Chain A
Amino acid sequence: DSGVTQTPKHLITATGQRVTLRCSPRSGDLSVYWYQQSLDQGLQFLIHYYNGEERAKGNILERFSAQQFPDLHSELNLSSLELGDSALYFCASSVEAEQYFGPGTRLTVT
């Protein structure tokens, strides 16, 4: 158990809908990273938050957004969902360069 929690574990929704994925980092970790894992793209970095502020963006679509709250949990919002957004979404929290991953949320868009 990494100490990083993610909810929900599974999410099934229809095209065009909006969903919110939640992540709670390990106690004391200020950084949260979001990654997408898909069969064709592999593991790709989406966005990084540190202590409530956005620090870096990777291959994140404009339809996606995230935020980190004062209690340090983070939410990833995915809107206008397309079939191609079906993937595993992981968050990770970090101590320096070492990142610890949550169990992931499997999103299926039908």
Chain B
Amino acid sequence: GNSVTQMEGPVTLSEEAFLTINCTYTATGYPSLFWYVQYPGEGLQLLLKATKADDKGSNKGFEATYRKETTSFHLEKGSVQVSDSAVYFCALSRNQAGTALIFGKGTTLSVSS
């Protein structure tokens, strides 16, 4: 079946450090891939997405590239800020309208100044 595996957290970084959060997936066909972020006490916000192989999603300095050959969608940011502290979820959905998201377990990022 379809599934998403994320690196376990927590990830603790100093401000301006480089961030990578690994995400790999198992899916039939060609899913769409997403990163969502959940700030403390809030709901999930869509951070970025990619809908086909080699697509790069980007937003707010975060990037992720859809790699079909390695079934990966790793999240990166060149210089993290304290305000990036949150839980990050990798997710997939089958590429058709009306299908539910399948989430990874989430990775907690803590950035200190």
| A interface, CB within 8 angstroms of B | 2, 4, 31, 33, 35, 42-43, 45, 48, 50, 55-56, 58, 90, 92, 94, 96-104
Contacts and interface: CB of A to CB of B under 8 A. Distances in A.
Given A45-B101, A58-B100, 8 more contacts: A2-B43, A42-B104, A42-B106, A56-B99, A90-B43, A92-B101, A97-B51, A99-B101
A48 B98 contact: yes
Given A42-B106, A43-B103, A97-B93, A56 B42 contact: no
Q: For this complex, into which size category does the number of interface residues on chain B fall? A: 20 to 34
Interface string B10-42: 000000000000000000000010101000001
A35 B91 CA distance: 13
A99 B102 contact: no
Chain A binding surface, main DSSP class: strand
Contacts of A43: 44, 89, 101, 103, 106
Contact of B100 (A2, A33, A100, A103): A33
Interface of B: 32, 34, 36, 42-46, 49, 51, 89, 93, 95-106
A36 B98 CA distance: 18
A50 B98 contact: yes
Contacts of B49: 98
B45 A56 contact: no
Nearest to B102: A45
A56 B34 CA distance: 21
Contact of A101 (B45, B51, B105): B45
A58 B98 CA distance: 13
A56 B100 CA distance: 8
B98 A42 contact: no
B53 to A, nearest CB: 15
Contact of A103 (B32, B42, B95, B103): B42
Nearest to A47: B100
Contacts of A45: 100-102
Contacts of B104: 42
Given A97-B32, A97-B93, A103 B101 contact: no
